[in-house]
A and B are shown apart, each in its own frame.
Chain A
Amino acid sequence: AQSVAQPEDQVNVAEGNPLTVKCTYSVSGNPYLFWYVQYPNRGLQFLLKYITGDNLVKGSYGFEAEFNKSQTSFHLKKPSALVSDSALYFCAVRDNAGNNRKLIWGLGTSLAVNP
């Protein structure tokens, strides 16, 4: 079965420190991977995606993610966290089974950046 897991419900990091939000996936065929962010009382916003090519993908707001095929992971990273990065982060993978190619979503990881 195709799935995506975000093993941490919450990640806490001090401002200025590097941050990592973890995501692992299970999918048939080539993985199409995505990160979205949800700020409080807002809709989700697209951050970045991996389709093919370089394993390190750069996205919005200084975020990047590293695709690791052997570990089936797509962790989100940022070298220096800001308080304003505090939000809910969702990893998603495209469902390659069936015709509609919908996204399969993780349960989300709440990131708290402390000043």
Chain B
Amino acid sequence: DTAVSQTPKYLVTQMGNDKSIKCEQNLGHDTMYWYKQDSKKFLKIMFSYNNKELIINETVPNRFSPKSPDKAHLNLHINSLELGDSAVYFCASSPRGVQGAGANVLTFGAGSRLTVL
């Protein structure tokens, strides 16, 4: 039973298209994240939600829009895809709120590899 599952695993699309990646966690965690890992394996946080409330919104183009319908789900929608959006996108979750030390023990999904042609 996968703890953090994201779909699709692979996504190949053309520039200018709109696409979504979905994420679900069954761990009962309060906080969920989206990370981007580029071709050099550099990891960058994009967004974080705590109990459906946006708490981290890094410098990300507004073509990227996260949505958290409930605390177990965090989806990422990307408009007008660009070549530079090609990367692996990881969803993660963590327990409790932002203050406790456990808040930084993240459980990651397996990743969604986005290729923009």
Q: Footprint of B on A, CB under 8 Å?
A: 32, 34, 36, 38, 41-46, 49, 51, 88, 90, 92, 94, 99-103, 105, 107-108
Contact = CB atoms under 8 A, between A and B. Distances in A.
Contacts, number: 58
A45 B48 CA distance: 18
B98 A51 contact: no
A29 to B, nearest CB: 13
Contacts of B101: 32, 49, 51, 94
**Max count, chain B CB within 10 A of own CB: residue among A34, A41, A101:** A101
Given A43-B90, A49-B104, A90-B43, A102 B56 contact: yes
Task: Please classify the interface of chain A as helix (H, G, I), strand (E, B), loop, or mixed, using the class held by over half of its residues.
Answer: strand
Interface residues of B, number: 23
A2 to B, nearest CB: 14
Contacts of B106: 36, 44, 46, 103
A27 to B, nearest CB: 13
Contacts of A38: 41
